[in-house]
């Protein structure tokens, strides 16, 4: 190679190498500081696209877990209220049994019936006031056979959405809770049937026993259905947690940086950068050798 002054090719070569190694060093620094292998689209365009889809799935699954847990809390709220209604119905049957015997007179049966009516009123109050996040659970609001979410307020049975798509066989199912007011159960003065309205006479008390038995069975069916739904939701949460964990692991393998490997690259590029700087300094001093020939 000729000894020239105008074009220092050695310095140009050293500068190009310096730029290459410094750029690689910058990339390693960015990855190590962020913990991500892909910090911008140019790092891995295809990997970035896959990663973002996986991230969307992970966040959707995590929200689905929260949705399912919220539904479990709602079911527990309804079941707790139904447990109190259960106690009232059992007390009402006890009172009906008491009024059915002939050892009480009419005044005493009226006193017994006053408590009977009070229990019925309390059942209706509980059913009408039990709500979860403003959604009334036992007043018939969720007893509809069909669901409509087209309006600002959904109607009919409640949809629990936990999947990342919109497939009814995979991503959601419904919670339907029948009405649990005293009139719906057929007891108390608000009942439409002739029996179960009052126990003020011996005959009415005796006739109320079968109605109260049916009311307890109806309430038990609601609680059993809620219990089955809760078990199903708990199993759903377990599956969603496993899915979210596996999808997160897949996203990590694509996105996260291997610190050991990247640190090796960082040290290598750091050494090469330092070497390029030193060689550039030496190359820049080479044209001075021409002065010794001139002088």
Instruction: List, for residues 90-142, the tens digit of each pLDDT value.
Output: 999 999 999 999 999 999 999 999 999 999 999 999 999 999 999 999 999 99
Query: Are both 247 and 289 inside the same structural domain?
Result: no
Q: Which domain holds residue 18?
A: 9-35+257-294
In a domain, 109, yes or no: yes
Q: Is residue 133 part of a domain?
A: yes
Please give the pLDDT value at position 2.
66
Quote the pLDDT of residue 6: 72
Residue 161 placed within a domain: yes
**pLDDT tens by residue, 168-189:** 778 898 999 999 999 999 999 9
- SS3 string, the chain, reads CCCCCCCCHHHHHHHHHHHHHHHHHHHHHHHHHHCECCCCHHHCHHHHHHHHHHHHHHHHHHHHHHHHHHHHHHHHHHHHHHHHHHHHHHHHHHHHHHHHCCCCCHHHHHHHHHHHHHHHHHHHHHHHHCEECCEECCCCCCCCCCEECCCCCCEECEEEECCCCCCCCCCEEEECCCCCCHHHHCCCCCCCCCCCCCCCCHHHHHHHHHHHHHHHHHHHHHHHHHHHHHHHHHHHHHHHHHHHHHHHHHHHHHHECCHHHHHHHHHHHHHHHHHHHHHHHHHHHCCHHHHHHHC
- Cα gap 270→283, rounded to integer Å: 20
Tokens of 182: 């005293």
Q: Are residues 235 and 267 in the same domain?
A: no
- pLDDT mean over 134-157: 92
End-to-end CA distance of the chain: 21
Instruction: Tell me if 65 is assigned to some domain.
Output: no
- Examine the domain organization and report whether 180 and 214 are in the same domain: yes
Q: Please compute the mean of the pLDDT values over residues 266-276 and round it to a whole number.
A: 88
Looking at residue 15, its pLDDT comes to: 85
Q: How many domains does the chain have?
A: 2
Q: What is the tens place of the pLDDT at every residue in 215-243?
A: 999 999 999 999 999 999 999 999 999 99
**Are 66 and 73 contacting, i.e. CB atoms less than 8 angstroms apart?**
no
Least confident window among 116-125, 207-216, 267-276? 267-276
Q: Are residues 202 and 164 part of one domain?
A: yes
Kindly state whether residue 208 falls inside one of the protein's structural domains.
yes
Q: What is the DSSP code (8-state) at residue 173?
A: E
Decide which of 42 and 50 is more confident: 50
Q: Is residue 49 part of a domain?
A: no
Whether residues 163 and 284 fall in one domain: no
What CATH number does residue 85 fall under? 1.20.1330.10
88 near 122, Cβ under 8 Å? Answer: yes
Calculate the average pLDDT of the chain. 90
Specify whether 196 is located in the same domain as 264: no
Answer yes or no: is pLDDT of 1 > 70.
Answer: no
Per-residue pLDDT, 97: 96
Least confident window among 46-55, 104-113, 205-214, 224-233: 46-55
Determine, yes or no, domain membership for 93. yes
Residues 208 and 88 in one domain: yes
In this structure, is residue 63 part of a structural domain? no
| Shared-domain flag, residues 79 and 205 | yes
| pLDDT > 90 fraction of the chain, expressed in percent and rounded | 60
- Residues 27, 75, single domain; the answer is no
Q: Do 274 and 170 share a structural domain?
A: no
Instruction: Look up the pTM and report it.
Output: 0.81
For residue range 2-38, list pLDDT tens digits in order.
Answer: 666 777 778 888 888 888 888 888 888 888 888 888 8
Same domain assignment for residues 128 and 148 = yes
Let me know whether 205 and 277 are in one domain. no
């Amino acid at each position: 190679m000729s000894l020239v002054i105008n074009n220092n090719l050695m310095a140009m070569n050293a500068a190009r190498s310096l730029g290459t190694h410094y750029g690689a060093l910058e990339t390693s620094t960015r990855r190590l500081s962020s913990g991500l292998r892909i910090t911008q689209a140019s790092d891995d365009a295809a990997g970035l696209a896959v990663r973002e889809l996986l991230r969307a799935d992970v966040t959707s699954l995590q929200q689905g877990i929260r949705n399912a847990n919220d539904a479990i809390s709602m079911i527990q709220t309804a079941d707790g209220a139904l447990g109190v209604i259960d106690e009232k119905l059992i007390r009402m049957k006890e009172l009906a049994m008491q009024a059915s015997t002939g050892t009480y007179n009419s005044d005493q049966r009226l006193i017994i019936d006053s408590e009977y009516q009070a229990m019925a009123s309390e059942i209706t109050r509980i059913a009408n006031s039990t709500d979860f996040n403003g959604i009334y659970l036992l007043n018939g609001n969720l007893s509809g056979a069909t669901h409509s979410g087209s309006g600002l307020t959904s109607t009919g049975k409640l949809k629990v959405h936990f999947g990342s798509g919109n497939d009814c066989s995979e991503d959601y199912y419904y919670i339907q809770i029948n009405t649990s007011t005293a009139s719906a159960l057929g007891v108390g003065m608000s009942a439409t049937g002739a029996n179960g309205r009052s126990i003020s006479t011996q005959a009415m008390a005796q006739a109320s026993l079968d109605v109260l038995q049916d009311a307890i069975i109806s309430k038990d069916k609601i609680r059993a259905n809620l219990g089955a739904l809760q078990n199903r939701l708990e199993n759903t949460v377990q599956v969603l947690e496993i899915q979210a964990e596996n999808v997160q692991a897949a996203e990590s393998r694509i996105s996260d940086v291997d610190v050991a490997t990247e640190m090796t690259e960082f040290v290598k590029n750091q050494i090469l950068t330092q070497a390029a700087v030193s060689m550039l300094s030496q190359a820049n001093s080479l044209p001075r050798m021409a002065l010794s020939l001139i002088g």
